[in-house]
Structure 1
Amino acid sequence: MTAFAVLIACSAFFVATEFSIVKVRTTKIDQLIAEGNTKAIKAKKVISSLDEYLSACQLGITITSLGLGWLGAETIAMVLKPIFDLIAVDASVMTVVSYIVSFSIVTFVHVVVGELAPKTLAIQKAEAVAIHTAPVLILFHNVMYPFIKILNSSANGLAALFGIRGANDSEVAMTEEELRIILSDSLKGGEINQSEYKYVDNIFDFDDRTAKEVMVPRTEIVGIDKELTLKEVFDLMGVEQYTRYPVIDGDKDHVLGLVNMKHLLTAYIRNPEVNGIKPITSFMRPVIRVFETSPISDLLLKIQRERIHMAILMDEYGGTSGLVTIEDIIEEIVGDIRDEFDADEVPEVRIIGENHYIVDAKMLLENVNDILNITIEDDDIDTIGGWFMTQNFDAKEGEKVVNQGYEFIVKELDGHHLIYLEIMKEPLPIIETTATVAQQA
């Protein structure tokens, strides 16, 4: 019985070890090592050579299974023999029954105690099991290395015939979708909060955004004419209350540079009489210029490198299509940033009621699709306002377009510049019953 118990324990050890080193996350082991857990170093060694140590586990499981098959049935049969002797069963019948009962008991104990229970433990406590079993597994691997090498080489050679590489050569990097699933599970499990999930999820979308999708469009740019003096600029700034302004020469297609209100105020305070009458070009700084199709990740790096927090976007004809500030880019990750001058700023989406919204016409189509759970697609248009104009270019306030069960109504318009759209669920048609028709007749 002692040998039988030892073999069951060995089987449980190798099964638990195998599942733990497959289940454990490398990043978790790296974290434990960084925290000073010296036991995790050997676990790192094991999972870094997964192919070798999985072969060691399989060899251990095979040896213990053979041992149980050899000793287990005979051991249980010896235990049961006194019972069968008391019953006075015929010898030939006793041999068959004893074999069947012994085999059943050995199989049950082996499967439950030697495999299923350790497997469940290893899956639930992968890090702990991997750390505690790694030293013994490494020792077993070193002792049985020649056999493991032969078996592993043979297995890899056979797998190579089917174009399959060893475990050590396989890719371990996770895809973006896999990381999103992990984040979602972490949110559900309470490991991260909603804000953390939102920030990381926005970062995944960050590289897919272009400057055109986050820009302030040309029609909304507030520029300063190069002929204005510093005193005249302050009058304009008092109305608009922005921090930075582009300096233009005649029209918005000719942007010369930018000015920062902080620098202007400093210059004015130092010498109001002299600096107050200087042209604004005396205080102008360079501005970044990029194509409107530039990825915002590249634009952010350019802004950081050149330390200029405003970029003018150009279209394919060299004209100005809009501008982007560093705040516009950061808001793609953290959401809207509102300061003391944004008290009257209207949210991009206003919820009026169930399936009833007022949205900024600059809102991206994909964001509208997410909110309404619909699919509006246009390869040439980015915003919901742009899409509406393709459906009804000469729209007036109050006019609507119906699409996929929703009414898109012009809420506010400035010339041909669409500012806000009201979106609501299309009302269900009224079906007149036979009784109603009869009454009307």
Structure 2
Amino acid sequence: MASDQGAASPTQSIPSVFELAVALVLILLNGVFSLSELAVVSARRPRLQVLAEQRRAGARAALALAEEPGRFLSTVQIGITLIGVLAGAFSGAALGERLTALLGAWGVSSGLAEPLGYGVVIGVITYLSVVVGELVPKTVALQNPERIACLVAPAMTMVSRVAGPVVWLLDASTRAIFRLVGRGAEAPAGVTDEEIRAVVAEAETAGIIETHERAMIGGVLRLGDRSVRGVMTPRTDVAWLDLDDTDEAIRDTLLTTTHARLPVGQGGQDEILGVVQVRDLLPDLMRGRPLSLRAHIRQVPVVPDRLSALDALSVLRRAPVPFALVHDEYGHFDGVITPADILDAIAGAFRADTDDPDPEAVRREDGSWLLAGSMPVDEMADQLRVPLPARREYETVAGLVIDALRRLPRTGEAVEIGGWRFEVVDMDGRRVDKVLAQAPAQTED
């Protein structure tokens, strides 16, 4: 009897190797489907479009799969499900039976050999399926999703065509369920500002872009959300010429100004007639001849203060003189906007263009921030991570404090906004000049 058992053992080992090979092949196929799924889903469509235009092999197929995620996911799910059924029905059962017989041959009781044999086989197959069939392929797919998507797309397209009726049924069923619950099956397209900022922050951390580049990208994103009121030079800071002034006073203004263009009014800022370019007046100014100020006035466009900053930039591009007057809804003069104001919003103010040499935001040793009242509130919110309402009527830190208090503040008054304490530390007449911002932890200390 012992010799019979010894003769049967090598015979049983031959099909066991075959069945083990089948199990490994099924696990590897599962890995291919997992790799394909994550690669195509994670691949960036603009990058796939660029690869398709470069005639990269498989790029157009990958782009087609990405544009029809329902059909593609149905194809992947069919493959994974079919592989799982085959692995459980064929490899698991066959290998479990072989291992049970082997344990019985080693003297293990039949009551223990069967659960132990099937349990070991199921455990090993499950482990290999998770590691080799899921984790490793998906990790590889995340490392270079576009390249891998191009590699696997032709094969996945072929599988989708072969299993066309089943794929259509699954995709149609999914869409029907989404319609029943009142939602679309397609994911919302587009990228939010927050996602772009997160990508830029990650690129800065990785050393791909510099800190100043990140700041400028943030400025461009903020510019798209600002109105003219948020980037203009307010009327209180506008240097201008008055036709009613004496020739000597006009000469003094022209000699001391740092601006290339100046608005011209008569009797007050609400009667602005146009602008003059200082260079046009230089010949008369240098030779001591009378200034023909009115003859050099040029007409410039007038824009409403609620116009978007990007639309105002388009107006400046088309204008014969890159200069625009800003009026409110009642027709009152509010300020001016120039290309320098747009550049200021993107890259920050140049020291030569401002009367205040101090930066708009200074972080102190205790972690608090000393802010200029004129600092754009969206820049402050990005710097301090202070939440702001989507719709607001103010554009500066001073406006934020005034809106919270609902009146003009006094020196020393404070208000809690978004978890921060904003204290007015300096007033310049009726203008909020400096504000101290403290986080809650700093306030408690």
> TM-score, structure 2 length as denominator?
0.78
Equivalent in the alignment of 2:86: 67
Say if 1:92 and 1:373 are closer, same or farther in 2 by CA, change over 3 A.
closer
Q: State yes or no: 1:203 paired with 2:215.
A: no
Of the structure 1 ranges 373-382 and 354-363, higher mean CA displacement relative to structure 2 is found in: 373-382
**1:228 & 1:119 partners in 2: Cα distance?**
75
Is the 1:208–1:295 Cα contact (8 Å) retained in structure 2?
A: yes
**1:238 & 1:419 partners in 2: Cα distance?**
31
**1:299 & 1:262 partners in 2: Cα distance?**
25
**1:118 & 1:336 partners in 2: Cα distance?**
49
Is the 2:100–2:116 Cα contact (8 Å) retained in structure 1?
A: no
**2:314 & 2:161 partners in 1: Cα distance?**
50
Q: Deviations over 1:357-407 (max 9, x none)?
A: 765443345656676777999966554556579899697xxx543455665
**1:7 & 1:226 partners in 2: Cα distance?**
89
Q: State yes or no: 1:242 paired with 2:259.
A: yes
Is the 1:218–1:322 Cα contact (8 Å) retained in structure 2?
A: yes
SS of 1:332's partner is helix
**Structure 1: gaps spanning 5 or more residues:** 430-441
**2:360 & 2:85 partners in 1: Cα distance?**
68
Alignment of 1:351-390 (within 5 A): 351=362, 353-354=364-365, 360-364=372-376, 382-384=395-397
Q: State yes or no: 1:283 paired with 2:287.
A: no
What code does the residue aligned with 1:219 have? T
Q: State yes or no: 1:170 paired with 2:187.
A: yes
Say if 1:323 and 1:73 are closer, same or farther in 2 by CA, change over 3 A.
closer
Equivalent in the alignment of 1:28: 47
Equivalent in the alignment of 1:121: 140
Of the structure 1 ranges 111-120 and 298-307, higher mean CA displacement relative to structure 2 is found in: 111-120
CA RMSD of aligned residues (A): 3.9
Q: State yes or no: 1:109 paired with 2:122.
A: no
SS of 1:258's partner is strand
Q: State yes or no: 1:217 paired with 2:234.
A: yes
Deviation at 1:253, TM superposition (A): 1.3
Q: Deviations over 1:120-152 (max 9, x none)?
A: 322333223222111211122222223322333
Is the 1:327–1:337 Cα contact (8 Å) retained in structure 2?
A: no
Equivalent in the alignment of 1:299: 312
**1:118 & 1:372 partners in 2: Cα distance?**
40
Percentage identity across paired residues of the two chains: 23
**1:289 & 1:173 partners in 2: Cα distance?**
34
**1:313 & 1:100 partners in 2: Cα distance?**
79
What code does the residue aligned with 1:176 have? D
**2:346 & 2:312 partners in 1: Cα distance?**
15
Say if 1:403 and 1:119 are closer, same or farther in 2 by CA, change over 3 A.
closer
Deviation at 1:258, TM superposition (A): 0.4
SS of 1:259's partner is strand
Say if 1:325 and 1:91 are closer, same or farther in 2 by CA, change over 3 A.
closer
Say if 1:25 and 1:306 are closer, same or farther in 2 by CA, change over 3 A.
same
**2:329 & 2:174 partners in 1: Cα distance?**
58
**1:349 & 1:93 partners in 2: Cα distance?**
77
Deviation at 1:243, TM superposition (A): 0.6
**2:230 & 2:377 partners in 1: Cα distance?**
10
Deviation at 1:59, TM superposition (A): 1.0
Which of 169, 176, 183 matches 1:157? 176
> TM-score, structure 1 length as denominator?
0.78
**2:37 & 2:361 partners in 1: Cα distance?**
54
Is the 1:361–1:421 Cα contact (8 Å) retained in structure 2?
A: yes
Is the 1:258–1:287 Cα contact (8 Å) retained in structure 2?
A: yes
Is the 2:351–2:357 Cα contact (8 Å) retained in structure 1?
A: no
Which of 333, 336, 360 matches 1:323? 336
Of the structure 1 ranges 222-231 and 41-50, higher mean CA displacement relative to structure 2 is found in: 222-231
Say if 1:135 and 1:406 are closer, same or farther in 2 by CA, change over 3 A.
closer
SS of 1:42's partner is helix
Say if 1:186 and 1:83 are closer, same or farther in 2 by CA, change over 3 A.
same
Q: Deviations over 1:396-426 (max 9, x none)?
A: xxx5434556653336x4xx46484374879
Is the 1:349–1:357 Cα contact (8 Å) retained in structure 2?
A: no
Equivalent in the alignment of 2:154: 135
Q: State yes or no: 1:332 paired with 2:349.
A: no
Q: Deviations over 1:177-204 (max 9, x none)?
A: 3333333333333333222222222223
Of the structure 1 ranges 177-186 and 248-257, higher mean CA displacement relative to structure 2 is found in: 177-186
